[in-house]
Structure 1
């Protein structure tokens, strides 16, 4: 395990775990933590040993969003610059990362913290966790791609309501409305996340990456364009070692041993 000041990193059995580590302020982002997370995400993308990534928080919270003490300090950058330099690159790195990313929401996810979770490929949460679009409570607009992902996940009407009211959404409600994948009991959360991440790390990594790339463009394509893209990526997937292994395992009626190649 390695640790920068505000990000803890570990790699075990193909699973890289990135833990936001400012528990005294509910893992709210300052500049150092945002830039460190960007660096770790870039490193995960380049490291072939990493086949799945878990993003979680230390302590009681997942992430409370931006550290307002930093944002309102006399020497602070403009809010728009914080968004452009801190959060926008993180969202793009999460979506461009060529491996599955699991947001393991261990507590409250508010503001940018909620929206960064929603930018991940799978979001799971403790039953006691919650999600809050907290921006309206301080006169700001939802950033970190919240206005992009949330309406696509739960529909325009619900997204509008949650962003304008700032109402808290329980983990169970988030599952019900399609915001997140599933919940686990608080006691079983760590083990369940580990099992899910290990499962993802043992999948055909390139095939998952191609799936992710297709999902990234699916809302901007016509049906015909998306069908064309599926053909392109299926051609690439069909040339991987994991495809050959998957077919052989199916024929031999055994569990496949995917290597990510």
Structure 2
């Protein structure tokens, strides 16, 4: 637990930034972006310790540890009186939930397949860990492979997975169109979720088929990510150490 935790303060447990991106987990990017959108102050606690649900990110709040980015957001909405979806109709909220679940229950796994299975040899450089850590990453790769099989996406061929991912990403692109944010002129919770996934593609997967889709085939997705980054991540270069940009 965070030392001498202050009352009503959010302690955000997350993996440390790397050169490519402030956080290598899409759900960490999602939750931090939400905290910034909602103007909720938080203190990052960098490390790789797992939360109460055996995953990262997680938070501590008034001595209580909580996991799951979606449930954390629901809790903080109630606790802090936040409602980023206040302007949305019930139908818009339904669409937002559908897109959130698509990217987190499907698109995420395609990204996981790309990162952990198809490009495992690039993990050491991406994670910025010493070679000895690859022993642990090899073990993690086995666990990831089991999870991909259990989900179902790991049972498909590479071509089939790429086709699934292309349909997901083009669905987001089509719905976004020329709007600044998914649901209109101002960001809502779904933007935190979608940015969480897309940011990993834009900034950690150069040269991949995923990167081609979001930059060449669907340039509005790249512009969308840059828009959110510019609005909410003014410290991006500071966090990633890219102070020359």
Report the TM range for the smaller structure's normalisation.
Answer: under 0.3
TM-score, normalization by structure 2: 0.27
Q: Which of the pair is proportionally richer in helix?
A: 2
Q: So what's the TM-score if we normalise by structure 1?
A: 0.25
Whichever of the two has the greater Rg, that structure is 1
